[in-house]
A and B are shown apart, each in its own frame.
Chain A
């Protein structure tokens, strides 16, 4: 077990390093840089000084300096937010996104998995059809539409929640629900599919033949193996949800991390791009590792595998 985890960790580090290198290459190869943004053109001396300060003329040096800093968890300055370092931005935005993301994923699992089980048990029944149509509705609406509709309904007309902002508990429900919709829909489909697979298994037939109660069969025998594909999906999904969504943050004015992914790329802000990308890759590796460990607890057969 420990060897397995160590191996995965080592491989994860390799992945993060590759992601960093690849992103760096893309940032260097792309046209445009932060100094060319904005209305004013800088005087040559100022531009020269800034280029020197941020090592923009020597990509190789920048690459190693950033890497050295990153190993000490210091992601250096950003180019566009001169008052902020990358670390300060991550430190202020990541907790916000993480709270929204974790709640959204919990909501998605809490509603999606039971709904998927209900669908699978009553396959092709009235409830199944209804829920699957709702899932398709959830997939087929972009989140800026669902978000705006929720905002208009609960924020503007009913006035149950504030229309945007951050800081109190009342600010939480709308972004969380909006963010969780696509994940919830995926969860319902996955659970339904794998539950159908499991329910047709021989051990379930045995349990039925022994006279076990339907509820016990579903909850005790079938749900555990059926949950495994959902768990696999949960790793990347959690990493994604916790690093924020641009649309949700934009609609509800949540100061999360998602906006920085987009703005950094649009501003060609190399420092912030690299910082956010490393942050995302680390989360991804971490959650895949956690999922892996949980997997081996739920399904002892996979311990031998990689």
Chain B
């Protein structure tokens, strides 16, 4: 298959012409601004408990001691920002420990986006290197590398992630000085990123193979360019399109994986929130007896909007970069 040459202005024009892609980009920007702008507040109050506001999950008993004795509302330090934040705590309701859902959600959004981006970066790095090396070197190494990918496909994905996580826990936590939240995040994105590069490697290998046979590569080689120069100067710029598309679509995948691990209870440990954690906690907060619907609706809504925005942007990029492709689809 001949790979069309993509120009950046052309791709940008096609991307901008795509209504859903534009909406996705706008939504993504909005969410990022919210998460980043809310960070000073959310990092401060995400774990502050106001026990009189706590919802009671079953089995719940009436407390024998009046709860307001334990109440610890957000400290109101001088300044207007603090009093605004104080009012904001109750905007989206409270969870079973009386913590403000709004601030937990803002921090969770940032953490999930961060894990998604980091995992996608790792995926792209491994996948591109693996695929490009296999295609460029060719021969026996190509065979071995791609058979290895085949074998990894034969391993169940969930098992691989869990084993990776188990294996990484001790070395990473000692490396990071036993800082719990940092350790959890690093382990999560490493585990997710290092098992999801298989499709990427296959796609990049195919692209490099088809690019390699084109005249401009022969011309470069005839002019005396070595393999490194051919890779970095001639092939990688042409690979930028599929790489960017895959990276964008890998982010929502990674966020979904993280929510799956959180549901299993092996994601980020409490009290640090992530979108998946909040959503899976919300699942248990809604039942036939009492339904604290906001604990399910807002996290799921946020997760959904984030993934939707990322998927819209990714799809838009794919259409912009590679208008008719079926190969780049099995994500």
Q: Enumerate chain A interface residues (CB-CB to B < 8 A).
A: 15-16, 18-19, 22-23, 26-27, 29-32, 136-137, 139-142, 144-145, 148, 152, 156, 186, 189-190, 193-194, 196-197, 200, 229, 233, 236, 243, 246-247, 261-262, 264-266, 268, 273, 276-277, 280-281, 284-285
Contacts and interface: CB of A to CB of B under 8 A. Distances in A.
B170 to A, nearest CB: 6
15 contacts: A18-B147, A19-B151, A26-B163, A148-B286, A152-B286, A186-B330, A190-B330, A196-B324, A261-B159, A262-B158, A262-B162, A265-B166, A280-B156, A284-B153, A284-B154
B260 A247 contact: yes
Given A29-B167, A136-B308, A189-B329, A266 B155 contact: no
A137 B260 contact: no
A236 B307 contact: no
Nearest to A237: B330
A273 B159 contact: yes
Contacts of B326: 190, 193-194, 197, 229
A145 B330 contact: no
A19 B260 contact: no
Centre residue among A23, A27, A145, A156 by max chain B CB count within 10 A: A145
B330 A233 contact: yes
B323 to A, nearest CB: 10
B166 A137 contact: no
A224 to B, nearest CB: 15
A285 B287 CA distance: 41
Interface in B135-165: 147, 150-156, 158-159, 162-163
Contacts of A281: 154-155
B159 A145 contact: no
B6 interface: no
**9 nearest CB pairs, A to B:** A140-B307, A265-B162, A281-B154, A19-B154, A18-B151, A148-B283, A142-B259, A140-B308, A280-B156
B263 interface: yes
B196 interface: no
B2 to A, nearest CB: 15
B76 to A, nearest CB: 36
Given A190-B330, A197-B324, A142 B159 contact: no
A277 B276 CA distance: 27
B166 A30 contact: yes
Contact of A140 (B159, B163, B296, B311): B311
B312 interface: yes
A273 to B, nearest CB: 7
Contacts of B286: 148, 152
Interface string B285-325: 01110000000100010011001100110010000000011
B158 A144 contact: no
Contacts of B127: none
Contact of A261 (B150, B154, B158, B307): B158
A189 B173 CA distance: 41
Contacts of A233: 330
A268 B159 contact: no
Interface in B161-209: 162-163, 166-167, 170
A285 B156 contact: no
Contact of A142 (B167, B276, B287): B276
A197 B322 CA distance: 13
